[in-house]
Structure 1
Amino acid sequence: MTTYLSTFLHNPPRRPLYLAAAIVMYLTIITIGNIPGARADIGAYAPGAVLHSIAYAVLAALWFTGSR
């Protein structure tokens, strides 16, 4: 499992895909956040701190693996 994960995360041809995924995710979060009432609807499922923590963790992981 560790070998597979290491190969998956440190694959140089996939690095641009990781960066592109991070940018698309960031723009999607910004766009959805600007929709009136969307934050309140999502807030019914998870509080803001949880959503921010998950989003920043995924964005940081994508950016880190894409830029290494």
Structure 2
Amino acid sequence: GHEKALQNLKQKFQERIIPINSCFSTYAQEKVRLRRAGTPIGEFDLLIGCSAIANSLVIVTNKARGKN
């Protein structure tokens, strides 16, 4: 059932799933820094960015700056 489907999904994407536990300290620091600078960004954008930093990854996007 559901558990088997979840296990299959995890197995299929295990090399692509990025853990986020290691990014929470960076997330908190950046959230405060951005807020103090008057340039807060969206919660998910910040989480994605901090996950990339914590895992030494590069983000590639076609999202225009400042547009949500």
TM-score by length of 2: 0.30
Structure richer in helix, relative to its length: 1
TM-score by length of 1: 0.30
